[in-house]
Structure 1
Amino acid sequence: MSTEAKQLRFLIVEDTEDIRDLMVRMVVRQGHLADEAADGLEAVAALQEELYDFILLDLTMPRMGGEDVVRWLNEHPDRTVGLEVVVITAWAGERRAVLQELGVTNVFQKPLRTQQLRDLIAEKDLGTRS
């Protein structure tokens, strides 16, 4: 990572530990920081403590799903300053309309690919420089 590039903070929200670990490694390999949450309740607790640049969010999780996390974020705009919500799910198609209503524009099919992550980071870097 160049000295000019900002180290970004990611919150990885995924109930499947292997997938969560893989996404954390992908983020760290790109030179950024990653916190983890195993479900929506853990995500909300983390979001109350930290401000993030990205949340990589699964939809289907026990206790509290991804749509409810997005609803919580919409009710707490002070926690969304500079935050990009990225839904990563196996079931994106049928939920896309609901996600759009909630303001989610980044929806990717599982598994997240390294190039998709690089593109997200590059877009964020361009947005912060303009």
Structure 2
Amino acid sequence: MTTRANPLRFLVVDDTEDIRDLMARMVVRLGHLADEAADGVEAVEAIQKAAYDVMLLDLSMPRMGGEDVVRWLNGHPEQAAGLRVVVITARAGERRGVLRELGVSSVLHKPLRTQQLRDLIDETASGSTPPTP
């Protein structure tokens, strides 16, 4: 697993403050860095200002939802270089086809478990799963 000597940088995007805060704290407890965005508009603004290794992305948000963020990334590949997009949602079943078409291969269900996050970090750090989109 990656350590604090080589931390991954996460962007946690969720419109529910408690969920966003919890996921960010989980990331930090595992020795990595976490910035937060309350919706897709804030996520796009953050991505334009900083490079991230992983984005934990909710689908249903006001102003700009998760699918629209991925569409924006697909239209701006220079902003998505090396970024792994992981959709975190309670209801991805009916959206899996659309997400696949958009290039999202990583979908985890809420509530996010610590072991799921550890596995994600290990996969990302080892490069065993290609970045998306």
| TM-score normalised by length of structure 1 | 0.93
Moved more, 29-38 or 5-14: 5-14
**How big is the shift at 1:80?**
1.3
1:104 counterpart letter in structure 2: V
Instruction: Tell me if the contact between 2:59 and 2:88 (Cα under 8 Å) persists in the aligned partners.
Output: yes
For the residue of structure 2 that corresponds to 1:94, the secondary structure is helix
**How big is the shift at 1:81?**
1.4
Same amino acid, percent of matched pairs: 72
Structure 1 segments, 4+ long, off by >4 Å, are none
Whole-angstrom CA distance in 2 between matches of 1:49 and 1:21? 21
More helix by share: 1
1:19 counterpart letter in structure 2: I
Look up the match of 2:108.
108
Whole-angstrom CA distance in 2 between matches of 1:70 and 1:53? 15
Where does structure 2 lack aligned partners over 5 or more consecutive residues?
A: 129-133
Look up the match of 2:131.
none
RMSD of aligned C-alpha atoms? 1.4
Aligned pair count reads: 127
Look up the match of 2:45.
45
Q: 1:39-91: CA deviations, max 9, x gaps?
A: 00000000100110000000000000000000000011111111110000111
Whole-angstrom CA distance in 1 between matches of 2:82 and 2:71? 17
2:96 counterpart letter in structure 1: R
Look up the match of 1:79.
79
Whole-angstrom CA distance in 1 between matches of 2:73 and 2:49? 13
| TM-score normalised by length of structure 2 | 0.91
Look up the match of 1:67.
67
**How big is the shift at 1:126?**
1.4
**Which structure carries more relative contact order (alpha carbon 8 Å, separation 6+)?**
2
Look up the match of 1:96.
96
For the residue of structure 2 that corresponds to 1:59, the secondary structure is coil
